[in-house]
Structure formats: structure tokens, C-alpha cells
Amino acid sequence: MSADPRFGGEELPAVPPELARFVLLPVPYERTTTYRKGTARGPSALLRASTQVELYDEEMRADPMAGGVATLPAVSCDGMPDALADLLQAQVAPHLEAGRIVGTLGGEHSVSLGPIRAAAARHPGLGILQIDAHPDLRDSYEGTRFGHGCVMRRALDDARVARLTQVGLRAVSPEDRDAQRDPRVRPFFAFALAAQARTAWIAKVVETLPELVYVTFDVDGLDPSVVPGTGTPEPGGLFWWDALALLRAVAARRRVVAFDVVELLPEPSSPLSDFAAARLVMKMLAYLSGSGT
């Protein structure tokens, strides 16, 4: 099998990481998923789909690739998620220290912990914007404290994380709800967002975030009509333009230091989810590149 292409395709000149504004880190990891499996194939599918994404962004009137986007080699880890977190923290930290924005491509949601820790170490007082159907605040799930259902609980173990804002929630356990009593956590439930104007709830979300932000985007935060290819496609999620309006507002009013897109589960019958995830990454790069109308 041939190697995965760079984000955007091999026809683009290769950009060394030291000259890039953005670095993308594929992490084809899946160890703790509990329903539909296959997220380990997500990064590869996203990169392949990215070769068909238009590289000019009409909304921002810019080519986000022009600032330099380097695709790093995929990270392989056979260990449990706690070992993966240590590995990814060590890999992400030097790029953040050099001022690059790191985008991690998952894989199951447990891959977010290492990059979050690296960002919090570099930027104490960090805020996390989590777009997700699930809070992921269990202390332990299916025999591990570091799996996909616990990743945000472990992120909050780091005192340098000042805020966790969760958007699009609609599948919440009693343990999650108890954990949301932490004063650092601000949940925005999908049923409540559906009853409000987009501009109103986005303004409220942005107000909860400190100046420096890590964005973690679980694609099941989107409605399954947009991305059906995910492990738990919960109905009632954010629609495409709502999610993009939120990302644009956060990028414009806060400083996003790193991000991830996780939980893509490619479906052989349709490339819809793969392409949507690749387009989502491109939109994030465009918003973080600035400019605009």
C-alpha cells in the first residue's frame, strides 16, 4: 500500500516543519473504542480526501496553504492511551515552543490528551473548546482512566487548564454531569443551542474562553447528516455552518494555539465523512490564517 499523501496533495511543494506555520500530525490510534470501530483509519482517509479539497478559501479570500503546512509522519503506538499521551506530548511540545500551530488528526479521542498537555505546559491558563456529542468526563471507563470516554477528565487533572467549554453535548452520563460541577467546566447542550439564534449562543461560548485556546473537534459533535462516519453518530448535532461560524468566531477573538480533529470512521460505501473532515481541517487552517471579508 502506498504512503498517505501530504495534506492537500503531493502536487504541492513539500514544506519542512521548521518553515511551516502549521504542522499536521496524523495519529492512527484506536485502543479503547466501545461501539463501531475503525477510527485508526481516520487520518489516512482524511489525508487522501484532502487531495480533492479546493485550496482556496472563498470565505476568507485566502489560500491557507500559502503560509506553509507540513504533514508530519504518522505516529505509531501499540501501548495504552497513557503511553500515547506521553509520546504525543513530547512530539508536539517542540513545535509549540517554536510558535507553530499543531493540528492532530485522529484516531480515537484519547489522542487529544498529549497535545493538550503540551499546550497547557507552554501556555498556562489555557482554555479548551471541545465540540463533541459526549462530555468525556468519566473518571474511568471500560477498565482505563485514559480512554476516549475519560480524555477531558484527564485534561482537567492538569491545573494549567483554566477552562473547558463543551459545545454540542447530547449524550451525557450521570458521572459526566457530576464532573461538570467543576467550576472550570461550561457545558452547552445541543437541545439548548437549537432554541437560540446562532449569533447569540456563539457569543456566549466565546465569552467563556480565555485568550489562549486549544480546540478539540470530535466529528460526532456534528449532526450525522453531515458526518455519518463516526463511532457513535448521535442525532441532533451541530450543522456545518453553525460549527464553522463558531470556529471562525473563536479564531477571530481568541488565539488558537493548537487543535485536533478526531473520531473519523471511514465508511467504504461513501467518502462523505472523509471529505467533510478534510474540509473541516482546511477551514480551520483558513480561519487561523486570518484575512477574511
pLDDT digits (tens, 9 = 90+) for 102-135: 999 999 999 999 999 999 999 999 999 999 999 9
Sheet strands side by side (includes 255-262): 69-71, 22-27, 101-106, 255-262, 212-218, 126-131, 161-169, 185-189
SS3 244: helix
- What pTM does this model have? 0.96
Confidence of residue 34 (pLDDT cuts 50, 70, 90): confident
The total number of structural domains that make up the chain = 1
Q: Could you give the percent of the chain with pLDDT greater than 70?
A: 98
By CB atoms closer than 10 A (0-12, 13-18, 19+), residue 250 is buried
Instruction: Determine the Cα–Cα distance for residues 3 and 276; give it in Å rounded to an integer.
Output: 21
**Assigned domain for 12 exists:** no
Is the pLDDT confidence value at 143 over 90? no
Q: What is the CATH number of the domain that holds 217?
A: 3.40.800.10
pLDDT of residue 32: 73
Task: Classify residue 250: in a domain, yes or no.
Answer: yes
Q: What is the pLDDT of residues 197-213, one digit of tens each?
A: 999 999 999 999 999 99
User: 3-class DSSP state for residue 223?
Assistant: coil
Distance from C-alpha of 39 to C-alpha of 238, rounded to nearest angstrom? 20
The predicted pLDDT at position 31 comes to 83
Average pLDDT over residues 169-187: 97
Helix 198-208 to helix 240-253 angle (10° resolution) is 40
- For residue 293, what pLDDT is reported? 44
Rounded Cα gap, residues 50 and 278, in angstroms: 5
* 256 band by pLDDT with thresholds 50, 70 and 90: very high
Helix, strand and coil content of the chain, in percent to the nearest 5, comes to 40, 20, 40
* Residue 292 scores a pLDDT above 70: no
pLDDT digits 0-9 by tens, 204-239: 999 999 999 999 999 999 999 999 999 999 999 999
User: Is 261 a member of any domain?
Assistant: yes
Per-residue confidence band for 33, with pLDDT thresholds at 50, 70 and 90? confident
- State which residues form the domain around 99: 19-289
Q: Is residue 5 part of a domain?
A: no
- Predicted confidence at residue 36, as pLDDT, reads 82
Report the percentage of the chain scoring pLDDT > 90: 89
Q: Is residue 253 part of a domain?
A: yes
The answer as to whether 76 is a domain residue is yes
Half-sphere exposure of 126 (CA within 13 A, CB side): 28
pLDDT average, residue stretch 263-271: 96
Residue 270 maps to a domain: yes
> How many residues comprise the chain?
293
Determine, yes or no, domain membership for 10: no
DSSP character string of 69-108? EEEPPPP---S-HHHHHHHHHHHHHHHHHTTPEEEEEESS
Of 2-11, 242-251, 262-271, the range with the lowest mean pLDDT is 2-11
